[in-house]
Amino acid sequence: MNGKKSQKVVVLATGGTIAGTAANGSDHTGYTAAQLGVQHLLDAIPTLNDALQGDVLVCEQVVQLDSKDMDHATWQTLAQRCAYWLSQPDVGGIVITHGTDTLEETAWFLQMVLGPTKPVVLTCAMRPATALMPDGPQNLWDAIAVARDVMVHGVMAVCAGRIHSARDVQKVHTYRLDAFSSGDAGPRGWVEQGRVRWADPGSWPLKHANAHQVLERPVAQWPWVAVLHNHANPDARQVHALMAAGVQGIVLAGTGNGTVHHSLLAALTQAQDQGVAVRLTTRCAEGQIVGAVSELPTAPRGLNAFKARVSLMLDLMG
Ligand code: SIN
């Protein structure tokens, strides 16, 4: 349990490729959409109960169709079912499984008709449920995570780890798993390891608590923070040399999701034990470190190494 009151998340199923089946696992195009019921889709996520943290799933098969065949009668039924569930005080949010082909139209229709203050999250799949690596279970799991997020209101679409608003979402690719785009607006956020990361994280301090020090303290007395990178065969002696020279902080741009060569990690841990402030970030230009991957503390707010150096220098002025 996460301490918050348990709520219902309602899954309304409408068909699509996410519920599609093919005669063999390697067939991603010659399948029939809308074959499997909603319970079957949920059963494909064995860890779902852990992710729900005490919340309860309610599911309903609204229709079972290929979304190329979407019609106004189905839209009306779907809007009515959404309105019913949204009016229940114990319902936190709704997830709708839908075909990819007309998902953007249904999303906009529901946004305009319901104007929901709770999350209504459409999700889908580009591969049928019988694929060797189906994308539906992950998309559904991600959509449930978004529907449980307190920051969400309105109609969203979730596909391939990206969260799109009903206004901007559009199917832009015929085949690839990440088939949707929000165009120039970009995604509203991402779902990583079951956690939502918003593109606009809302309020965070726009001025450092030690800012006044910068205006007064002679620059020669500003803390010395160095930036190092992880790479193949790094030389841990650079850490020892920095320590010997009196460095106060080190920001390490790790590889990938913040990985560090074992020799460099040992040297940085030693530096940390001896009072040097160490922060870990990634040398990847996009994304940020997900999860607790290292005993080294992660730089805040996914800052790159150079901005993390500025922040750490200001931290050390305190
Ligand atoms: C559909 O839109 O129902 C079929 C295609 C898909 O879901 O990708």
* Residue 66 CA to ligand 1 centre (angstroms): 6
Q: In DSSP terms, which residues pair with 180 in a beta bridge?
A: 171
Q: What span, in angstroms and rounded, lies between the C-alpha atoms of 122 and 296?
A: 38
Name the residue among 273, 227, 220 with its Cα closest to residue 250: 227
Length in residues, the chain: 318
Mutate to test the pocket of ligand 1, among 14, 124, 135 (most ligand atoms within 8 A of CB): 124
Task: Tell me the average pLDDT across 267-286.
Answer: 97
* Residue 23 CA to ligand 1 centre (angstroms): 17
Residue 10, number of CB atoms within 10 A of its CB:
23
Q: What span, in angstroms and rounded, lies between the C-alpha atoms of 89 and 245?
A: 62
Task: Tell me the average pLDDT across 205-225.
Answer: 90
pLDDT tens digit string along 271-280?
A: 999 999 999 9
* Residue 98 CA to ligand 1 centre (angstroms): 7
pLDDT tens digit string along 37-83?
A: 999 999 999 988 887 989 999 999 999 999 999 999 999 999 999 99
Q: What span, in angstroms and rounded, lies between the C-alpha atoms of 235 and 129?
A: 48
* Domains assigned to the chain: 8-198 (3.40.50.1170), 211-316 (3.40.50.40)
Token pair belonging to 166: 């009903």
Terminal alpha carbon distance of the chain: 37
Q: What span, in angstroms and rounded, lies between the C-alpha atoms of 30 and 48?
A: 29
Q: Is the CB of 99 under 6 A from ligand 1?
A: yes
Please give the angle made by the CA atoms of 201, 198 and 150, to the nearest 5 degrees: 90
- pLDDT, mean over the chain: 94
Task: Tell me the average pLDDT across 7-36.
Answer: 96
Q: Indicate the Cα dihedral angle 180, 186, 191, 196, nearest 10°.
A: -140
Predicted pLDDT at 178 = 97
Q: Is the CB of 135 under 6 A from ligand 1?
A: no
- CB contact at 8 A, 236 and 304: no
Closest ligand 1 atom to 102 CA: 2
Q: Indicate the Cα dihedral angle 144, 17, 106, 42, nearest 10°.
A: -20
Predicted pLDDT at 1 = 42
* Residue 155 CA to ligand 1 centre (angstroms): 19
Mark out the alpha helices in 44-184 (DSSP H runs). Answer: 48-52, 72-86, 103-114, 136-147
Does the structure show a pLDDT above 60 at 2? no
Q: What span, in angstroms and rounded, lies between the C-alpha atoms of 34 and 40?
A: 12
* Residue 91 CA to ligand 1 centre (angstroms): 27
Predicted pLDDT at 116 = 96
In order of 25, 33, 96, 166, 173, the CA distances from 28 in angstroms are 8, 11, 22, 26, 14
Q: What span, in angstroms and rounded, lies between the C-alpha atoms of 7 and 93?
A: 9
| Lowest-confidence pick of 16-25, 146-155, 219-228, 262-271 | 146-155
Predicted pLDDT at 3 = 55
Q: Which residue has the higher pLDDT, 88 or 291?
A: 88
pLDDT tens digit string along 127-144?
A: 999 999 999 999 999 999
Question: If pLDDT is split at 50, 70 and 90, which confidence band does 203 have?
Answer: low
| Candidate list 14, 17, 123, 298, residue with the active-site label | 17
Q: What span, in angstroms and rounded, lies between the C-alpha atoms of 109 and 235?
A: 58
Q: Is the CB of 33 under 6 A from ligand 1?
A: yes
Element (H, E) at 265: helix 262-273
Name the residue among 257, 252, 251, 261 with its Cα closest to residue 231: 261
**Burial letters 78-108, b for 16+ CB under 10 A, else e:** bbebbeebbeeeebbbbbbbbbbbbbbebbb
pLDDT tens digit string along 242-255?
A: 999 999 999 999 99
Q: Is the CB of 67 under 6 A from ligand 1?
A: yes
Q: What span, in angstroms and rounded, lies between the C-alpha atoms of 308 and 277?
A: 12
CB neighbour class for 238 (10 Å; exposed up to 12, middle 13-18, buried from 19): middle
Name the residue among 273, 274, 262, 277 with its Cα closest to residue 230: 262
Mutate to test the pocket of ligand 1, among 100, 139, 169, 177 (most ligand atoms within 8 A of CB): 100
Catalytic residue list contains 77:
no
pLDDT tens digit string along 164-186?
A: 999 999 999 999 999 999 999 99
Does the structure show a pLDDT above 90 at 213? no
Predicted pLDDT at 205 = 67
Helix, strand, or coil (residue 56): strand
pLDDT tens digit string along 102-128?
A: 999 999 999 999 999 999 999 999 999
